[in-house]
Structure 1
Amino acid sequence: MRLKEKVCLITGAASGIGAAIAQRFAEEGAWVEIGDRDADRGRETARRIAETGGRVHFSPLDVRNRQSADAWAEDVIHRHGRIDVLVNNAGISAVGELHEVSEELWQDVMAVNVTGVFLVSRAVIPEMMRRRTGSVINMSSCIAEMGLARRAAYAASKGAVLSLTRSMQVDYARYHIRVNALLPGTIMTPFVEGYLKRDYDNPEEALALLKQRQLADDLGRPEDVADAALYLASDESRYVMGSGLVVDGGITAGKPF
């Protein structure tokens, strides 16, 4: 019970990595608060967690909207009296070289992946400051540390999240708040399955190429990232501050040929 009685907020938790983190945190004794724009899938995720004995509550959340972020944080504080862990997981992707990316798509990616982290963190951190404790986990990506073809907008957003994480840590260390980032590689989620089908003429061929990038010779599972998030949320990582924890199957380590 590594998170016993901790109140943990997770954005973008209706499916994929966010849902896996919510499930893992609940298994470790946390009160799990999940937020997502997809209300139907969010409630289904909450139902599945509750069926296994987890303590969970779903709230509709649009991380791009200040009022939505503020209302979510206020509601959690009203019901629990505190916030111990925030996982800024909500994110979207975009495929294309820079000249192919529309201004609208660029703005959408930045609004969710960067502004969403800013707005939700700004709503939650004052409560952590008041209690002088807390752990914030921002979802970056291994792409923040490397170049990858046709990911201009996504790479820019995840690089921004990693830099923001480090600056947040400097600002809030004096309040005993830890701020770290997770840098996953390619994880097989509905998110990845969707863009393979949407953006590639031959999804199976594209999947095979994705697998070749990993030294592990396969894509990761949402549970792989959830285990890393558990470490950063727990007291076991008390001395880990401002870090970017890479969970990428070796993609940033080098190529096997």
Structure 2
Amino acid sequence: MRLKSKVCLITGAGKGIGAATAKAFAREGAVVEIAEVDLDSANSVVEEIVAAGGTAYAKFVDVSDSASINAWVTEVLGRHQRIDVLFNNAGVSAVGQLHEVNRDLWDKVMSVNVTGVYLVSKAVLPAMMEQKQGAVINMSSCIAEIGLARRAAYAATKGAILSMTKSMQVDYAPYNIRVNALLPGTIFTPFVEDYLKRSYDDPSAAIESLKQRQLGGELGRPEDVAEAAVYLASDESRYVMGAGLAVDGGVTAGKQF
């Protein structure tokens, strides 16, 4: 019960890494609060957690809309009077070389991936500052450390999140708030599966190609990232501050030849 009685907020936890993390947090004793635009999927995660004996709630929240976020945070504080962990997980992708990315897509990915982290953190941090304790986990990506074809817009957001994490840590360390980032590699989630179907004529061949980028020769699972999130949320990581934790199968370590 590494997160026993901790109130943990997760954005974008209806599927993939967010859903796996919500379940992992609940198994470790946390009270889980999910913010999601797909409320049906979020409710399914809540039902699974409750059926397993855990405690979880879900609410429709658009992370690019401050009114939506503030209403959610107010509701959470009214229910629990505290917030111990915030996992800024919600995100969208953008595919294409920079000159191919239209302004609407650029604005959307920036609004969700970067402004979303800003707005949710802005709403949650005052409660953590008042209680002099908290942990914030921001979802970056290994793409913040490497170049990857046709991902300029997405990479820009994930690099911004990593830099934001480090500066946030400097600002909030005096309040005993830890701020760290996760840098996953290619994790086989519905998000990635959908991208492969839209981007490649032969998704199966694309998967095999992606596997070759990993030193371990396999794509990651949502649970691999979820366990890293549990560590960063728990008191076990009390001395980990402003870090970018790679969970990428060795992509950023190099290549085998």
* Aligned-pair CA distance for 1:114: 0.3
Q: Report the 3-state secondary structure (helix = DSSP H, G, I; strand = E; otherwise coil) of the residue aligned with 1:217.
A: coil
* Partner residue in 2 for 1:114: 114
* Partner residue in 2 for 1:50: 50
**Amino acid in the other structure paired with 1:221:** R
Matched ranges for 1:26-37 at <5 A: 26-37=26-37
* Aligned-pair CA distance for 1:49: 1.2
Matched ranges for 1:29-108 at <5 A: 29-108=29-108
* Partner residue in 1 for 2:141: 141
What is the count of residue pairs matched by the alignment? 257
* Aligned-pair CA distance for 1:50: 1.1
Q: Report the 3-state secondary structure (helix = DSSP H, G, I; strand = E; otherwise coil) of the residue aligned with 2:110.
A: helix
* Aligned-pair CA distance for 1:48: 1.1
**Amino acid in the other structure paired with 1:182:** L
The percentage of counterpart residues that share the same residue type is 67
User: What is the TM-score normalised by the length of structure 1?
Assistant: 0.99
* Aligned-pair CA distance for 1:206: 1.3
1:120-175 deviation line (CA, Å, top 9, x unaligned): 00000000000010000000000001101110111000000000000100000010
Please identify runs of 4+ aligned residues in structure 1 that moved more than 6 A.
none
Matched ranges for 1:222-233 at <5 A: 222-233=222-233
Unmatched segments (≥5 aa) in structure 2: none
* Partner residue in 2 for 1:193: 193
User: What is the TM-score normalised by the length of structure 2?
Assistant: 0.99
1:46-85 deviation line (CA, Å, top 9, x unaligned): 1111111111001111000000111111110000000000
Q: Report the 3-state secondary structure (helix = DSSP H, G, I; strand = E; otherwise coil) of the residue aligned with 1:227.
A: helix
**Amino acid in the other structure paired with 1:127:** A
**Cα distance in 2 for residues equivalent to 1:225 and 1:58:** 21
* Aligned-pair CA distance for 1:202: 1.7
**Cα distance in 1 for residues equivalent to 2:194 and 2:101:** 18
* Partner residue in 1 for 2:22: 22
**Cα distance in 1 for residues equivalent to 2:209 and 2:54:** 38
**Cα distance in 2 for residues equivalent to 1:141 and 1:99:** 22
State whether structure 2 residue 246 is matched by structure 1 residue 254. Answer: no
**Cα distance in 1 for residues equivalent to 2:21 and 2:190:** 15
* Aligned-pair CA distance for 1:32: 0.4
Unmatched segments (≥5 aa) in structure 1: none
* Aligned-pair CA distance for 1:45: 1.1
1:167-199 deviation line (CA, Å, top 9, x unaligned): 100000010100000000000000000010012
**Cα distance in 2 for residues equivalent to 1:227 and 1:99:** 37
**Amino acid in the other structure paired with 1:30:** A
**Cα distance in 2 for residues equivalent to 1:101 and 1:200:** 18
* Partner residue in 1 for 2:5: 5
* Aligned-pair CA distance for 1:216: 1.0
**Amino acid in the other structure paired with 2:198:** R
**Cα distance in 2 for residues equivalent to 1:73 and 1:216:** 40
- TM-align CA RMSD: 0.6
* Partner residue in 2 for 1:155: 155
* Aligned-pair CA distance for 1:208: 1.2
**Cα distance in 2 for residues equivalent to 1:198 and 1:40:** 24
**Amino acid in the other structure paired with 1:133:** Q
Q: Report the 3-state secondary structure (helix = DSSP H, G, I; strand = E; otherwise coil) of the residue aligned with 1:213.
A: coil
Matched ranges for 1:149-188 at <5 A: 149-188=149-188
1:8-47 deviation line (CA, Å, top 9, x unaligned): 0000000000000000000000000011000111111111
